[in-house]
Structure 1
Amino acid sequence: MNHEDHRRHMSGEHSARATVSEAEHVDHTTHGQAMPEGHAHSAVDEEHAVHQHGQHAGHSTAMFKNKFWLSLALSVPVVYFSPMFAHLLGYHIPEFPGSSWIPPVLGSLIYFYGGTPFLKGGWTELRSRQPGMMLLIAMAITVAFVASWITTLGIGNFNLDFWWELALLVVIMLLGHWIEMRALGSARGALDALAELLPDEAERITEHGTETVSISELSVNDVVLVRSGARLPADGEIIEGRAELDESMITGESKTVPRGPGDTVVAGTVATDSAVRIRVGAVGTDTALAGIQRLVAEAQASSSRAQALADKAAAFLFYFALGAGIITFIAWVLLGSPDEAVIRTVTVLVIACPHALGLAIPLVIAISTEQAARAGVLIKNRMALERMRTIDVVLFDKTGTLTKGQPGLTGIAAIEGMNDDDVLALAAAVEADSEHPSARAIVTAARNHGLRVPAASGFASLTGRGVKADVGASAVMVGGPNLIAAEGLDVPGEIREQTRPWVQRGASVLHVIRDGQVIGAVSLEDEVREESRQAITALQKRGIRVAMITGDAQQVADAVAAELNIDEVFAQVLPQDKDKKVGELQSRGLKVAMVGDGVNDSPALARAEVGIAIGAGTDVAMESAGVVLAGNDPRAVLSMVDLSRASYRKMIQNLIWATGYNIIAVPLAAGVLAFAGVAISPAVAAVLMSVSTIVVALNAQLLRRIKLDPAAVR
C-alpha cells in the first residue's frame, strides 16, 4: 500500500458510521463553541449552524435565505403603496378598492413571518438579561408595527406610517444575518470525521474460519484478521504476524513502526505491508480513537466565549435608544405636547435600529472570507479571523505541515573504492519493486541524480528488516539495524563515522549490503518545505513567535527547528499532551494559533484561540479548526494575519460609523434642536438610516483592494 493510499485511509475516504460515533457529538456554533456534555447531536452541517447564545433562535442558514427572498418580494408593494414613501419621492399612488390596505396587510405578514427570528431572539436576550442586536431589532420593528397600525386605524392624531420602513428593516436584517451565517457555515462535525477512520467491517476469526462482521459486533477477546493495507477495527494486541504500522494519526511519527506478537495496536492505524491477527482489547468508547474524540469535545467546549463586536455595540445602542426614548417622551409631555411626545419617541426608537450595524460585521466577514478563499484560506469561524490579529505565537505541527510528511534522501555514505552513485544505484535497484515510502524515496533520488539503475530479480521483502534482490551476479540487501543484526554483519568504521551524525539527528539509516558485506548506507528524513522557512521568517518579522510540536524524537525535532530557526520546540508529544502544550502556552498569557494536519492535532486545534488545518490533512483536523488552508503551503498563515488586521480595521470603522451616526441622529430625532427649527421627521429619519447603510457597505467593499498572495510573502 503506497503513501497516497495511506493518506486516503487517514482521510476517511471509505465512510464508516461505527461505534466511535456513539461518543459525544459537538454542536459547531458559528463562534466555534460546543454544547455542554450530554447534548448529543448528529452531524452538524451548514444548514444547522446556530448563532452563539441563541441569538439566531436556533434557525438555519436556509431559513434566513428563504425568509429574506419572500420578505423582499412582499416589501416591494409595501414600499410602493406607502403614502410616506410616495410623498418622499413625489409620485402618485394608484387608487383602487383595497389599495390602502396593501401596506398594512403585507407589512403585517413581513412582521410576523420575516421578523419571527428577531422577535424570538429578542425574547431570549430579554429573558437572559443580555440585550443585544436581536432585542434592538425586535424593539424597533415592534414599535414600527404598533405605530403604523395606530395610524392606519386612525387612532389619535398621529402620522406614523412606518410600514415601508418596517418592511425594509426586516429585509435588511434578514440579509445581514443570512450573509453572516453563510460565511460562518461549517461542514460535517469533527467527531463524525473521526468515526470515518474506522472500517465498516472486520474479519473475525472463528473455529470455522473467518466471517465478515460489522465492527459494532466485535467484543473484547475476539480475534480479527487485518490484511495488508487495511485499517485496524479495534484496539488490541497482535498475536500472530508482523507488519509495519502507520500510526501517525496517534503518535504523529512520520515513519511506519514495526509491530509483532505481543505489541499493543490502536484502532484506525494502518497495516502497510503484511497481514496480522489481533486479539481485541477495547471497542467502542473505550478505544484510543474515542478518547481523542472526547479530547476534541472538551477542547472545543473550553474555547473562549468572546462576543462579536456588533453584539457589544448593539447592547450599548439598546440602552442608549431606550434611555433616549424615555427621556424624549417625558420631555415632550412636560412641554405640553403629548402628540409630539409619541411621534418623537417612535421616531427615536425606529431610527436607533441598527440597519448599518446589522451589516457592518456580516459584510466585512463575507468579503474577508471571499478574499481569503482566493488566497487559499478557508474561513470557517469568524471569531478565528477576528482573533488572528491578536496571536502571539503560531504553533506548527511538524509532520506534514512544516515538512512534507514523507521521507526524502538526505545523505549517502560509501566504503573506500565505491562512490555515492554506485551505492545509490544498487539501493534503487533492490527497492524498485517495493511500494514502501522509503523505497520510493530512494528510487526517486536515483532518478533525480540521473543514475542508470541496473535491473534486479528475485525481489523479496524481509518483514521488519528490509528487502533483498539479485542485481547481476550479486545478492544485494537494503535494511536498517535489524537487518544488520539478523545477518550478523559488522558495519565498517568509515560507514559508522559517516552515519553517526545522521543517527544523532534522528534520520532513518538504511545499509546497503552486497554479497554479505556492508558497502554503504543512505539516510532518509522527512523533508522540510522551503515554504516553511519563508513563512517562519515572515511571522517573526511581524513580531509573532513560532513554536513547533511533534511526536517525533527530540533529536529529529531539534534538527528541523535548527534548520528553520524556530523559537521553541515540543518533541515526543502524545495527542493528549499536544492539547496540554497549547494550554501551557496559554497559561503564560500567550494567544496561540495552532497549525496541523493530523487527527492527533485535533484537540490542540480546537483548544487554541485559532485552529488552522492544512487542507491536505485529514477531515477531522479540518473540522476541528476554525480555518482551513486549501493547500499545504504554510505561507498562507501570513495571508490570514494580514487579512485579520485589515478586516478588523474595517469592522471598527463600520462600527464607529454605525454607532456614531445613531449617537448624532437619535438626539436630533428626539427634537433637541426643535427650538431652533431643526427637527427630523420620521420619513427623513428613515432616509438617513438608509444612507448610513450604504456608507457601511461601500467601506466594506474597500477590503477587495487587499492583495493576498502566499508566494509574495515578505
Structure 2
Amino acid sequence: MADDFDKNRHMNHDNHEENSKTDMAHMNMSHDHQGHDGHMNMDHGQMKMDNSHDDHGDMSDMDMSHDHQGHGNHMQMDHGQMKMDHHAHDGHSDMGNMDMGGSHENHGDMGHMDMGHDHNHQGHGDHTQMGHEHDGQMKMDHQNHDMSNMGSMPGMDHSHMDHDMSGMGDMGGMPMNHSNMKQRFWWSFALLIPLLFVAPFMGVDLPITLTFPGSNWVMLILAVAMYAVGTQPFFSSAKIELKQKKPAMMSLISMGLLVTFWVSVYAFIAKTFFKVDAMDYFLEFGTLVVIMLLGHLIEMQATMKAGNATSELSKLTPATAHVKEGDSFIDKPVSDLTNGSVVRVLAGESFPADGTVLSGSSQVDESLMTGESKPVKKAEKSSVIGGTINGEGTLLVQVSAVGDDSFIGHLKKTLNQTEASSSKAESLANKVAGWLFWVGLTAAILALFIWTAISGLTTAFNIAVTTLIIACPHALGLAIPLVIQRTKALAAKDGILIKKHGAVLSAKHLDYALMDKTGTLTNGHFQVQKLVTNKISDHDALAIMAALEQQSSHPLAKAIVQKAQDDGVTVTAGQDVQTIAGAGISGTVNNQQYSLVSARYLTEQHIDFEPLDADGSISYLTDGHQVLAAVSLGDSIKESAKDFVAQLKAHQITPVLVTGDAKKTANKVAQELGIDVVQAEVSPEDKINLVKQYQQKGKTMMIGDGINDSPALAQADLSVAIGAGTDVAQASADAVLISQSLPKIIDLINLAHNANRKEVENLWWGAGYNILAIPTAAGLFAFAGIMLNPLIGAIVMSLSTVVVAINALLLHK
C-alpha cells in the first residue's frame, strides 16, 4: 500500500518565497556565453587543475581557448579557491605563456564575485548547474602530467578552464584543441592552392604548372609557411610517441614531412645556387600536410567528448549553502562547510553535502544517486546524500561528510580509478602506422648502405629518399577518420551520439548487456497505472483529484494532473486545499469537500473501502463518507523495452538487469521483459564489480542513465547512456541514445560491426600499397629490372587515397 511513502507526500508551500531570497553579500550575475571577446580578471586564491591527459610535451604556447556559444544554462564562476592538482604529469615544464582565454566581453575586475545562480526549482528533478565548480573550486580535469614547473603563468585567463581533451588516443596524444587544428588546416589549404600551380609533381611539370622568374622562390616561401603553420602538431605528438618508445601514426607522418620538406630544400639550394639538377618534393609535402590535418580534424570532431564525468559530478551540489550561525542563516560557499555545520535546505534545493536531518520532514528524490525510483521520506535522524533533491518540505541538516569523504567524493574517486584502469585498446591504425614506420625507416637505411656500395652515394641517396616518401601515409591517414565520420553520421540519423568511437568500433561482438532499470528500461517518472472508480466516472474522478493536486509539485501530484491533461479533462481550481499531516490532502471542489488520502487514513477514520490490488503508490478519493476512487501511481516500462530485450537475445547477448531498486520491484520488471538474470539493491561500487565479473566471461555492454551508473559505464567494453539521463552518465559513456527507442542500440551494434569491417578494408587499401611499394622503391626487385618510378608511385598513392574515401562512403547499417 506504500503508506509510508504516502505519509508526507502533500505539504504546504509557505516556504516557497524563501527560495527567491538572495543574499546580497554574494552578487549574482547571469550571462549568456555567446562568443564574447575580452578577458576576465579574476582574483583566484589557489588554482586547481585536475589533469587527465597523457604527456603533452612543452605546452608553453598552447592555446586552449574555448568559444562558448549558445549555452542555455548558467555557469557558476565562484572561484574562492582555484587549485592545481597534479597527478603524475610529464612534460609541462614550461607553460608560462599558456593562453586559456574564456572569450567574455568587458566583465572587468570581478575579484571574488559569485556569478552563480541559485536554482531553487520546486519539485523538479533537474538541478544540474553549468558551473565550473560548485564547491568554489575551478578544475581542469587532466591526468598523468607533471605540471610542477609551470612558473607564474603570466597573463593566464582562467575564465574557462574546465576543458576535456581525453579520448584523443587514436591521434597519438595530439596536444591541440579543435579550433587550433581547424585554423591550421585552412591556412595550410590556402597555401596549398598556389603551390599546386608552381611546384612540379614528383619532378614532372603538370599542365597547370607555371614557371616564371622567381617561381622557385615562391614555391620555397609557400612551403616554408606551410611548414611553420601545419607541422607542429605532428612533430609534438611524434616526440611524445618516440619518448614513450612507441612510434605510431604521428611518427610516420612526421618522418614523411621531414623528408619531403628538407630534401626539397636541399634540391632548391642545389638548383638555385649550384646549378645542380635535383628533384624536389614540395608538392608532395604540401598535400601530405593538408591531408593529414584534414584526417585528424575529422577524427577530432568525432572524438570530442560532451563533458567530463567527474566535473559533471561537481555540478550536482549547489555553490552556496544556507549555514546556521547563531540564530540566523547566512549563505556561504559549499567549500566552507565542515563536519558538524548546520544547514537549512529549502524545498526544491539540492543538498550541499551528506548529513543527518535535525528537524523537518520531506520527500527526497534520490533516484539518480541510488536508483530508488520513489521519493524517499526524510524526517529527524534520517540520512541525506549531497546532490539529491529535496521535495516540498524544509529540512535542517547537520553535515556529516564533505569533500572526498562524501558520497559524491567516493563516486568521483571510483570513477577516476575506473577511467584510468579501463584504457581502450590501441587503435589498429596506430599499430599499422607503427609497423610501417619501422619498415620504411629500415628499408631506407638498408637501401642507402647497399646501393652506396653498388652504385655510389648519389644513387643510393635518391633511392633511400624515394623509399621514405613512398612510406608517407596519405591514404592511411584518412582510412580510419573517414570511417569514423561516416559511422558517426549514420548513428546520428538513428538518434545515437557516438562520443568515443574507439570503444564503439571495437565492439565487434558482445556477450552480456547489463542494464539499469529506472530511466533506462522504465520511463523514470510516475504515471497513473490503474484507476478504479465507485459511483463516479473516471473523468469526474480525475477532475476532482487533479483539482486537489494541481498546486503541488510532488511527483505523484504531477502524475495525476498530467493524466487529467492527457485525457482532456477540464480541471477547476480547488478551494481551501490543505495538507492532512502524514495522510494526504483535502479541499473543496465544486462546493463539495473531498480528500485524497492513504489507506491508513481511511482505517483511522473508519471509512469502509476495498484495498486496491496494484503495485506502486496507492491513494483513495473520498467525500468523507465513502471511497469514490482509488488510483495507483508508479514508474512504467518503456514501450520499446520488451522488443529490445528480445533482440538482444536474438543476437546471442545475455540481458542482465542491474539496479539499486528493491528486489521485488526489480524482479517484477524483469519478469515482464523476459530478463532471467537480476541484480537488485546494488551500489555504484557493486555495479562496477558486476561489470568486471562479466568482463571476465566475455565482452560486456552497460546501459544506464543515472549518476550511480557512471562508474560502471566507464568500466564497460561498450557503454550507452540514455539521452534523457544525467550529464554525469552521458560524460562517462561511449555513446548516448538520443532516440526514445531502445532497439536503436541494436542498430548501433550492427553498425559497429560493419564499421569495423570497413576499417580493416581501408587499412588494407591504405597500407597494402605501402607494403608493396616500399620494398620495390628500395630496389629489392632490381635484380629483375624492376624499380619503382617515383611518378608512378605517387599516382598509385593518390589512387589508394581515392579508393579509401569511396570505400568509407559505402558503409551502411
Q: TM-score range by the shorter chain?
A: 0.7 to 0.9
| Structure 2 residue aligned with 1:18 | 134
2:486 pairs with 1:377: no
Pairing of 1:667-706 with structure 2 (within 5 A): 667-703=775-811, 706=812
In structure 1, C-alpha distance between the alignment counterparts of 2:248 and 2:294, rounded to whole Å: 18
| Structure 2 residue aligned with 1:66 | 183
The 8 Å contact of residues 403 and 528 in structure 1, kept in 2 or not, is answered as yes
**SS of 2:504 mapped into structure 1:** helix
In structure 2, C-alpha distance between the alignment counterparts of 1:691 and 1:426, rounded to whole Å: 74
In structure 1, C-alpha distance between the alignment counterparts of 2:326 and 2:766, rounded to whole Å: 76
Aligned-residue identity in percent: 35
State the shift of 1:62 in Å: 2.2
**SS of 1:187 mapped into structure 2:** coil
**SS of 1:671 mapped into structure 2:** coil
- Of the three residues 630, 634, 643, the one matched with 1:521 is 630
**SS of 2:518 mapped into structure 1:** helix
2:512 pairs with 1:393: yes
In structure 2, C-alpha distance between the alignment counterparts of 1:598 and 1:382, rounded to whole Å: 22
- Evaluate the alpha carbon distance shift between residue 296 and residue 462 of structure 1 in structure 2; reply closer, same or farther with a 3 A threshold: farther
| Structure 1 residue aligned with 2:693 | 584
| Paired residue type of 1:327 | L
Shifted more, 212-221 versus 638-647: the winner is 212-221
State the shift of 1:556 in Å: 0.8
In structure 2, C-alpha distance between the alignment counterparts of 1:84 and 1:424, rounded to whole Å: 80
| Structure 1 residue aligned with 2:196 | 79
In structure 1, list runs of 5 or more residues that go unmatched: 28-33, 708-714
The 8 Å contact of residues 386 and 644 in structure 1, kept in 2 or not, is answered as yes
**SS of 1:291 mapped into structure 2:** helix
In structure 2, C-alpha distance between the alignment counterparts of 1:581 and 1:91, rounded to whole Å: 64
- Of the three residues 149, 165, 168, the one matched with 2:265 is 149
State the shift of 1:364 in Å: 0.9
- Evaluate the alpha carbon distance shift between residue 67 and residue 91 of structure 1 in structure 2; reply closer, same or farther with a 3 A threshold: closer
In structure 1, C-alpha distance between the alignment counterparts of 2:121 and 2:672, rounded to whole Å: 30
- Evaluate the alpha carbon distance shift between residue 121 and residue 215 of structure 1 in structure 2; reply closer, same or farther with a 3 A threshold: closer
In structure 2, C-alpha distance between the alignment counterparts of 1:453 and 1:118, rounded to whole Å: 66
- Of the three residues 518, 529, 544, the one matched with 1:410 is 529
2:292 pairs with 1:178: no
The 8 Å contact of residues 198 and 209 in structure 2, kept in 1 or not, is answered as no
The alignment covers a number of residue pairs equal to 684
| Structure 1 residue aligned with 2:218 | 102
| Paired residue type of 1:72 | F
| Structure 1 residue aligned with 2:49 | none
- Of the three residues 645, 654, 676, the one matched with 1:536 is 645
In structure 1, C-alpha distance between the alignment counterparts of 2:146 and 2:710, rounded to whole Å: 18
- Of the three residues 218, 224, 227, the one matched with 1:111 is 227
State the shift of 1:355 in Å: 0.7
User: Which whole-Å deviations, capped at 9, do the CAs of 1:670-711 have from their partners, x for residues lacking one?
Assistant: 2344455543222332222122111111111122xx36xxxx
The 8 Å contact of residues 258 and 464 in structure 1, kept in 2 or not, is answered as no
In structure 1, C-alpha distance between the alignment counterparts of 2:706 and 2:137, rounded to whole Å: 19
The 8 Å contact of residues 464 and 482 in structure 1, kept in 2 or not, is answered as no
Pairing of 1:645-656 with structure 2 (within 5 A): 645-656=753-764
State the shift of 1:7 in Å: 8.8
**SS of 1:244 mapped into structure 2:** strand
The 8 Å contact of residues 549 and 570 in structure 1, kept in 2 or not, is answered as yes
User: Which whole-Å deviations, capped at 9, do the CAs of 1:222-272 have from their partners, x for residues lacking one?
Assistant: 322221112222221111111111111221112111111111111111221
State the shift of 1:539 in Å: 2.4
The 8 Å contact of residues 56 and 117 in structure 1, kept in 2 or not, is answered as no
| Paired residue type of 1:289 | I
State the shift of 1:74 in Å: 2.4
In structure 1, C-alpha distance between the alignment counterparts of 2:513 and 2:464, rounded to whole Å: 51
Using CA pairs under 8 Å that are at least 6 residues apart, name the structure with larger relative contact order, 1 or 2. 1
State the shift of 1:13 in Å: 4.0
- Of the three residues 265, 288, 293, the one matched with 2:384 is 265
State the shift of 1:412 in Å: 4.0
- Evaluate the alpha carbon distance shift between residue 449 and residue 366 of structure 1 in structure 2; reply closer, same or farther with a 3 A threshold: closer
| Structure 2 residue aligned with 1:136 | 252
**SS of 2:640 mapped into structure 1:** helix
| Structure 2 residue aligned with 1:461 | 579
| Structure 2 residue aligned with 1:558 | 667
Pairing of 1:183-194 with structure 2 (within 5 A): 183-194=302-313
State the shift of 1:657 in Å: 0.9
| Structure 2 residue aligned with 1:439 | 557
Pairing of 1:493-532 with structure 2 (within 5 A): 495-496=610-611, 499=613, 502-503=614-615, 507-515=616-624, 521-532=630-641
User: Which whole-Å deviations, capped at 9, do the CAs of 1:111-164 have from their partners, x for residues lacking one?
Assistant: 344222222222322222212111111222222233223322328977331121
The 8 Å contact of residues 167 and 305 in structure 2, kept in 1 or not, is answered as no
Shifted more, 87-96 versus 364-373: the winner is 87-96
Higher helix fraction: Structure 1 or Structure 2? 1
The 8 Å contact of residues 607 and 625 in structure 2, kept in 1 or not, is answered as no
| Paired residue type of 1:103 | M
In structure 2, C-alpha distance between the alignment counterparts of 1:449 and 1:469, rounded to whole Å: 23
In structure 2, C-alpha distance between the alignment counterparts of 1:174 and 1:666, rounded to whole Å: 24
| Structure 1 residue aligned with 2:679 | 570
2:202 pairs with 1:93: no
The alignment's TM-score, normalised by the length of structure 1, stands at 0.87
**SS of 1:680 mapped into structure 2:** coil
| Paired residue type of 1:549 | V
2:730 pairs with 1:622: yes
**SS of 2:553 mapped into structure 1:** coil
CA RMSD of the aligned region, Å? 3.2
**SS of 2:204 mapped into structure 1:** helix
| Paired residue type of 1:125 | E
The 8 Å contact of residues 197 and 208 in structure 2, kept in 1 or not, is answered as no
| Structure 2 residue aligned with 1:712 | none
2:717 pairs with 1:600: no
The 8 Å contact of residues 200 and 214 in structure 1, kept in 2 or not, is answered as yes
State the shift of 1:386 in Å: 1.1
**SS of 1:69 mapped into structure 2:** helix
The 8 Å contact of residues 21 and 192 in structure 1, kept in 2 or not, is answered as no
In structure 2, C-alpha distance between the alignment counterparts of 1:335 and 1:178, rounded to whole Å: 44
